[in-house]
Structure 1
Amino acid sequence: MKLAIVNDSPMAVESLRRIVGDAPGYRLAWVAFDGAEAIEKCHQERPDIVLMDLIMPGMDGVATTRRIVPEFGCAVLIVTASVDRHTGKVFEAMGAGALDAVNTPVLGAGGDAGGDVLLLHKIDTIATLLQDRNAATVDAPRQPASPPLRGDRTAPLIAIGASTGGPAALARLLGGLPAHPAVAIAIVQHVDEQFCASFTHWLDQQSPVPVRMARAGERPQAGEVVVCGREHHLVLTPAGCFDYVREPTTTAYRPSVDVFFHSLANNHDNHGVGVLLTGMGRDGAAGLKAMRARGWLTLAQDRHSCAVYGMPKAARELDAADKILPLEEIGTTLLQWAEDPLGAARTRRKSG
């Protein structure tokens, strides 16, 4: 698998070069010292994975990622001096299509690079996702549908799944909602567990609706957004509460959108809207189809507005979506449900 390095620091480049050079199964295709050079070299030889710095003169890592991902289809891993100091830019880059982020390994006195294990783990994970992107979706184990809850109905729910390009899309959708929506909102975004807290905090700053991490044992509550906050799968239990589970272990992504969507199809009595946004692979498509079969309104993002048209494409192929819409029109639909879910449901039944 071919890797490329985009970094203006000679020391960082040397550190990355040594790590990549010693890793079996990878070949360093080229090195670029700024974004413009990286785009030029992508035209000459397209790498599978780009190790992208964030802070560079001229075209920075965010702008370069925004060009490279849709134009060349490369996977981008942000490798920067301090992820914690640049949280906003990290999620801006993820919104532009980057898959993950990690601190730049530092060369020690003996020439060893500290942090190389984590970097290689993230590269290996992305390589696996690239190999699995066209694999068939793994269905989650089906829990028997529970009877509707009496006297304590779960709040109407908007459930959203996203991956590559998701942070920016989510920020736009949540930014268009009222501060006190009449629905609960739950999100599964493919993001490394170490970034869950900072991602949730960043998304909270973009949204008029309070955003926090989902907690096991609580019910969906109208007027707030919860985000899957662990590497385990988020599910809704037959009792109508959120929980985190380890199984299934065979999914390419942890957390899995499919696992969450299947649990909603089986266990949520009040239905609502399922949304599948931009992302690589097929995660969420089968779960969205299960939601549609149970009476949910299901939406998938269209090709033109996606950073990566993978997951919504899979939903289209499975006929899992009632509607395939640009991100702006998805936002309009969610606004209608957020303001008046009962009215939106009645309108849908009449038009259906």
Structure 2
Amino acid sequence: MAIKVLVVDDSNFFRRRVSEIINASPHLEVIATANNGKESIDMVIKHKPDVITMDVEMPVMDGITAVQKIMDVAPTPILMFSSLTHQGATATLDALEAGACDFLPKKFEDIARDKEEATTLLQQRIQQIAKRRVMRVPEKKTGTTAKVTPTLKSNVDSIAKPTMNRLSTVNERNELSAKPSVIKRHKASGKNYNVLAIGTSTGGPVALQKILTAFPAHFKLPIVLVQHMPGTFTKAFADRLNSNCKISVKEAATGDILKPGCAYLAPGGKQMLIGPNGQIKIHPGNEALNYKPSVDITFASLSKSYGSKVLAVILTGMGADGRDGSRLLKDKGAEIWAQDEASCVVYGMPQAVAKAGIATESIALDQVAQRILVELKHE
């Protein structure tokens, strides 16, 4: 059965273009379109799509507000389309916090070399996020405004009725409140670490925020972050994390030196290397590489500079970036963990390290932060 898609955009041309790309796949079918956020809510209730593609800027109701309301009445995987600007980055991050699963630049030429590549990329993204059903769970954050974090469930059943969604949300919240007692039973391995490294892609912005906001200001280690993201997005993302976290977060720059209690986010469109004594070097990298930044590249440099003194975590993401770098770290005696399948938006990157026998633990997203704090013997 084909994956049912709702296309939401105020541009007739873009709706038609996206619909043509989606319908070109035998696995996908556009069942309806909407020209603003308000209309999209009605269409979701009426047609029950498996996936929604959503523009950010629209009249009557914008995409961010629409995402919030859809997550309240009929949680559905949503792929956002955004402009590659600072303003577009901020809006996209708002949409991800509201419950959207992933995003793509609205100008396909920004992400693909030709029409065929753009077509394949969009179709793959839709098929990947269709495997998940999102449920919106309010959660208090450290920032001045309330944030929401989506938890993810297997998309086996059809979308539940609003009443059941609210009931499930309450049940999930109760389950989460009971989990810390389980986490405390873990004991630290006794290993000594000099750096925490985290690699992620699709679903990563929300996952990283959930983890990093749980860390205390006196966090013992420097943190290296590699998130697949356009260059115009990483500065905005780092600033947002910095405002929401007790630790410091910044977009990494050449000349930075790793310091405890600070997280360094690899700039989009470039590669980040960590040299001896924690010196950061940012460079353009090989144009042939699929990922810029690449988890493999950064992790490989950490294997040379820190060896066994690295605690590395691979979070939700499409593809296998991070597997080879994690293997190099593992060979040096470093510890490698992976996010578990149930809590991933896309179980690609974590699955790659788990199947290769590189990861020693598979951990649910809501347990990752506490598990790290236990391992590092934080009080």
The residue aligned with 1:282 is: 320
Q: Is the 8 A contact 1:182 1:222 kept in 2?
A: yes
Q: Mean Cα displacement is larger for which, 83-92 or 16-25? A: 16-25
Aligned to 1:217: 255
- Please report the TM-score for the alignment, with normalisation by the length of structure 1: 0.69
3-state SS, counterpart of residue 60 of structure 1: helix
Q: Give deviations 1:20-78, integer Å, cap 9, x for gaps.
A: 589899688341341452476565xx67x834447748972356589443xxxx8x233
Change (3 A) 1:299 1:209: same
CA distance in structure 2 between the partners assigned to 1:182 and 1:126 by the alignment: 45
Q: Output the aligned Cα RMSD.
A: 4.0
The worse-fitting range, judged by mean Cα deviation, of 22-31 and 287-296 is 22-31
Q: Counterpart amino acid of 2:95?
A: A
Q: Aligned partners of 1:203 and 1:118: how far apart in 2?
A: 25
Q: Of 14, 35, 39, which residue of structure 1 is paired with 2:12?
A: 14
Pair 233,119 (structure 1): closer, same or farther in 2 beyond 3 Å = closer
Change (3 A) 1:24 1:177: closer
Residue of structure 1 equivalent to 2:139: none
Letter in 1 for 2:249: V
> For residue 50 of structure 1, what is the amino acid of its counterpart?
T
- Give the drift of 1:248: 3.6
**Taking CA–CA contacts closer than 8 Å with sequence separation of 6 or more, which of the two structures ends up with the larger relative contact order?**
1
Instruction: Look up the match of 1:234.
Output: 272
1:303 deviates by 1.1
Shift of 1:157: 0.5
Residue equivalent to 1:34: 40
Amino acid corresponding to residue 17 of structure 1 in structure 2: R
Q: C-alpha distance in 2, partners of 1:239/1:6?
A: 49
3-state SS of the aligned residue for 1:231?
Answer: coil
Matched, 1:321 2:359: yes
Q: Give SS of 1:31's match.
A: strand
2: CA distance between counterparts of 1:327 and 1:21?
A: 34
The CA deviation at 1:240 is 4.2
Is the contact between residue 235 and residue 260 of structure 1 (CA under 8 Å) also seen in structure 2?
yes
Determine whether 1:99 maps to 2:102.
yes
Question: How far apart are the structure 2 equivalents of 1:244 and 1:128?
Answer: 27
Equivalent residue runs for 1:1-352 within 5 Å: 5-7=7-9, 12-17=10-15, 19-20=17-18, 29=30, 30-32=32-34, 33-35=39-41, 37-38=43-44, 41=47, 43=49, 50-53=53-56, 56=61, 60-61=66-67, 64=70, 67-69=75-77, 76-79=79-82, 90-94=92-96, 96=99, 98-100=101-103, 102=105, 118=110, 124=117, 127-128=120-121, 156-237=194-275, 240-269=278-307, 271-337=309-375
Question: How far apart are residue 184 of structure 1 and its match?
Answer: 0.3
Aligned residues: 298
1:112 match:
none
Mapped partners of 1:127, 1:225: distance in 2:
34
CA contact (8 A) 2:270 2:293 kept: yes
Percent identity of equivalent pairs: 24
**Is the Cα contact below 8 Å between 2:56 and 2:62 reproduced in 1?**
no
Extract unaligned runs of 5+ from structure 2: 129-192
What displacement does 1:319 show? 1.1
Cα 1:63/1:274, change in 2 over 3 Å: farther
